[in-house]
Amino acid sequence: MTHKILRIDSSIKSEGSISRQLSDDILARLKSSYQNAEVVTRDLGANPLPPTDAHWLGSFATPVDERSPAQAETVALSDTLIAEIKDADTILIGLPIYNFAAPAQLKTWLDQMARAGETFRYSETGPEGLVKNTRAIIAFSSNGTRLGSDIDFASKYVRHMLGFFGITDVQFVASDHYAIDADSSLKAANEGVAAIAA
């Protein structure tokens, strides 16, 4: 059976990105565990998604047969993004820390998919995620914002949003003090990669 991996890169750096390198290492680890892995890559740093603005909201509010070509295209993109996460067995997300938070382009990706009836629904007991049996591995990189610290406003948010969609099996691999001690930071990240189980 094919193991489907969705890779999300969000670094604005095309070269020298720690989160991209860490994602490369994690992906290699996953491929060694799943010989029949199939990978879909979406590079949000190189190809940012359009914002969830008034046009985006209006596109979904407009009946299907009344949508303009631009509105139909907007809805189709969101549908594609949702289909990608629903189809994936594992989602690999590169999470570089920018100003103590997640990159804007990664938040836009999450916003595009936060659609009632598609990735979550409201029930009598509260919201319920609709993306089931999916695992997420987060490649967390920072020059000095430690994973889970008081100034880390990214990891908890990303974990919460994934959980909101129903993805609760979330693992972080971190290189989180690169500017302070590059060798130690990379050593910890390598140990995290090695600990990833199939």
23 marked among binding-site residues = no
59 marked among binding-site residues = no
- Residue pair 168/136 in contact by the 8 Å Cβ criterion: no
C-alpha–C-alpha distance, residues 77 and 98, integer Å? 26
C-alpha–C-alpha distance, residues 170 and 114, integer Å? 18
19 marked among binding-site residues = yes
C-alpha–C-alpha distance, residues 115 and 148, integer Å? 28
What tokens appear for 190 in the block? 């390598």
32 marked among binding-site residues = no
Q: What is the crossing angle of helices 54-61 and 69-87, to 10°?
A: 90
C-alpha–C-alpha distance, residues 155 and 29, integer Å? 22
In the chain, alpha helices (H): 18-33, 54-61, 69-87, 104-113, 155-165, 182-194
- Residue pair 177/18 in contact by the 8 Å Cβ criterion: no
User: Can you say which residues are annotated as belonging to the binding site for FMN?
Assistant: 11, 17-19
User: Can you say which residues are annotated as belonging to the binding site?
Assistant: 11, 17-19
